[in-house]
Amino acid sequence: MAASYTLGLRRVFGLFAPLRSHQISLAQVSRQHRCKYCHSAPVESQAWKLMSGVCVERYPVISQQLNSIEKDFKDVCDAIELETSVLSEHEVQVIKDRERLKMRQSGELDEDIADDESDVITALDVEDLATEMFNQFQAAPRETEADEKNDTKSLNRKLDDKLILLVKEKLGDDLVWMLPQGYRESGESMKEVAERVLKLCSEEDSIKVKILGNAPVGVYKYKYPKAVQKELGVQGAKVFFFKAKLLQGEFKMRSDSNIKDFRWLTREELDSHLLKGYSDCVKKFIFPVSW
């Protein structure tokens, strides 16, 4: 009896033997995996300089011209509205005035009532007056004098498109076009850096902007030359961009800043001023007005 019981236990424990050996093999694989990466090359530990850049946008002032698809769609909507709409109050009043005029001419209208209505302004009189006023109205031109002169320092151009503020700043021995940017100082948040950058590059109260949100909308990084990396102990700089909406004012450069020039450009005009990689990065968060 005891012998058969012992034999049964051996058989039961024998069933778990593959599981125990499997667990051991997994542990060995895990140790091999850790050892492999523990002996890999160390990651470069040099830091990066942090910067904030500001993308100041002047939003469109007037609506854009309709393209061919939009014009066709508008024509269809106008036709449907004309076919399905009811008469307006003005159109109803015109019909009533015509009926009253016929009654007056045929003598069906009481003379006392006709005399009282002799000085009444009819709906057609109102329509003629409105037509005359409309013909005298002259809309402002869509293209301004700044468009004709291609004055890229003026905000009074490309009224149906967005304009982005670019500045020409001295970096080392070169003058480079870029968005306004500056280095982060100790204790500052990245948004505070962006606010300080605008104050340092423009005259006080020259423009009023609103930075949209607390998080950056894009990042661009570039490495310093080897000599500069060795001198400063950093690989390069990472620029975190914030979007800002122009509320009012005209941008005026501060005389004591590193900025030598500025321009207000459309999204399509950025490529002619910015470096290729920088332009590609910036245009990812500058959305076109129309697709």
| 169-179 confidence digits (pLDDT tens) | 987 778 999 99
Q: Is the pLDDT of residue 220 over 70?
A: yes
Q: Do residues 273 and 263 lie in contact, with contact meaning Cβ atoms separated by under 8 Å?
A: yes
Q: How high does pLDDT run on average in the chain?
A: 82
CA distance 127 to 133: 10
Q: CA 5 → CA 2, 14, 15, 17, 221, distances in Å?
A: 5, 14, 16, 19, 74
Q: Which amino acid is at 233?
A: G
Bridge partner residues of 87 (DSSP): none
CA distance 219 to 190: 12
Neighbouring CB atoms inside 10 A of 269's CB total 17
Residue 111: pLDDT band with limits 50, 70, 90: low
Instruction: Residue 181: name the closest of 204, 171, 172, 173 by CA.
Output: 171
pLDDT in tens, 245-275: 999 999 998 888 888 999 999 999 999 999 9
Q: What is the mean pLDDT of residues 126-155?
A: 90
Q: Do residues 58 and 267 lie in contact, with contact meaning Cβ atoms separated by under 8 Å?
A: no
Q: Is the pLDDT of residue 288 over 80?
A: yes
CA distance 138 to 147: 20
Tell me the whole-structure pTM to 2 decimals. Answer: 0.71
CA distance 242 to 55: 6
